[in-house]
Structure 1
Amino acid sequence: MDNSKTVSTLNDLLNITNDRIQGFAKVEEKVWDSYSGLKNDYDQMVRESQTMKSDLMGLITERGGNPDDSSTTAGALHRTWIDIKNSFGGDHAESTLENVVFGEKAAIDAYQEALQSGDLCPQSTVVVADQLVKLRASYGKFETLERITE
C-alpha cells in the first residue's frame, strides 16, 4: 500500500472535517430559539467533528505524513456566501440549518469517494467507515428539517 495516497486522501478528509467545524461555528445561538430540539444533536456533531479531526490527524502522522490542518476552498466560499446571505437581515434560522444539511451531504459524498477510491490502508478504511456512519447519523437527524423547509 502506498502511504502517500493514504495520507493524501486522509488530508482531504481532514480539510472537509475542518470545513464542518468552521461551518458549525457559523450557527448562531438564535437558531436554537426556533429549533431547540436539535441543539443537543448539533452539540454532539460538533464534539464528534473534533474527535474525527483528531483521529484523522493521528492516522496521517502514523503513516509518516504531515496533517494539512486547513479547510477547502469550496468550504471557504460556501461560508462566505452564508455570511453574505445573512448580512441582509431577517431571521436566518431555516437557512442556517439548511446549510448544515448541505455541508453534511458534501462530507458524506467525500467520505464515500474516499472509501471507494482504494487509496486507504486497512486501518484507515475502518476509521473512515466509522466516521461515515456518524456523518450519516447526524445527517439523518437534520434531513427531516430539509424536507420541512423546502
Structure 2
Amino acid sequence: MEKAKKIDAFNKLIQVNNDRIVGYETAFKETLDTSLKTLFTHCIQTSKANNKVLIHEVEQLGGEPIKGTKTAFKFLRVWMEIKTWLTNHANKSILQSCVFGEKIALIIYKKVLDDHLEILEDKYVVMITTQLSFIENDYHQVKSQLSQ
C-alpha cells in the first residue's frame, strides 16, 4: 500500500514536470527575446533533470511512470498562445502565464510533500525538497523578468 502511494506521489510530480516542459517549450516558441529563450531552456532542463530522478524512483518501486500532461495545463498553454498572438508576442503576457504555471507547480510539490510525509523515507523527502528548491529558483528568475 505504501509503495503504491509513493508511486502515485512521484507520478504527480512527474506530471508537474511534464507540464512545465511543455509549457516552457510553448513560451520558448512564443517569444522572440533571446534572454527569455535562454531562461525558458534552463527551466525545461530543470524539469527534465527532475523527471529523470523521479522516473528512476517509480521504476525502482515497480511502478509505471506517468506520461503526458494534465488537462488544466493544456488550457493554460492554449491561453498563453492566444494571449501572445493578441499582444503580438508580448513578453509580459508570456511571463505572466509562466509565473502562474510555476505557482501551480510549487503548490503541487508542497502538497505532495505534506500529504505523503509520513510514508516517505528521508531520502525521498530530501529528493522532493531539493527539486522544490530548483523550481522555486526558476519561479523567482521568471518572476524577476516581469519587473524588467
Q: TM-score surpassing 0.5?
A: yes
Deviation digits for residues 46-80 of structure 1, max 9, x if unmatched?
A: 21111111111111111111001111111111112
TM-score after normalising by structure 1: 0.85
Q: What corresponds to 1:132 in structure 2?
A: 132
Distance 1:30 1:83, change over 3 A: closer
**What's 1:64 paired with?**
62
| Structure 1 pair 140–126 and aligned structure 2 pair: CA distance change class (3 A) | same
Instruction: Indicate the SS of the match to 1:26.
Output: helix
Structure 2 Cα separation of the partners of residues 50 and 116 of structure 1: 23
In the alignment, which residue of structure 1 is the partner of 2:9? 9
Alpha-carbon distance, 1:141 to partner: 1.4
Q: Is the 8 A contact 1:21 1:50 kept in 2?
A: yes
Contact 2:30–2:84 (CA<8 Å) still a contact in 1?
Answer: no
Matched, 1:31 2:31: yes
Per the alignment, residue 109 of structure 1 pairs with 107
How much has 1:28 moved relative to structure 2? 3.5
Which residue identity does 2:133 align to in structure 1?
Answer: V
Question: SS of 2:95's equivalent?
Answer: helix
Which stretch shows the higher mean deviation, 41-50 or 128-137? Answer: 41-50
* Whole-Å separation in 2 of the counterparts to 1:68 and 1:79: 20
- Write the letter of the residue equivalent to 1:138: D
- Contact 1:19–1:72, Cα closer than 8 Å, also in 2: yes
Output the CA distance in 2 between the equivalents of 1:76 and 1:110: 16
CA contact (8 A) 2:28 2:37 kept: no
Is the contact made by 1:17 and 1:52 (CA closer than 8 Å) also made in structure 2? yes
Unaligned runs of 5+ in 2: none
| CA displacement at 1:3 relative to structure 2 | 0.7
The answer to whether the Cα contact below 8 Å between 2:23 and 2:98 also exists between their aligned partners in 1 is yes
By relative contact order (CA 8 Å, sep 6+), the higher-ranking structure is 1
Aligned-partner Cα distance in 2 for 1:69–1:18? 8
Return the offset for 1:15.
0.7
Aligned counterpart in structure 2 of residue 88 of structure 1, from 78, 86, 90: 86
Q: Tell me the residue number matched to 2:95.
A: 97
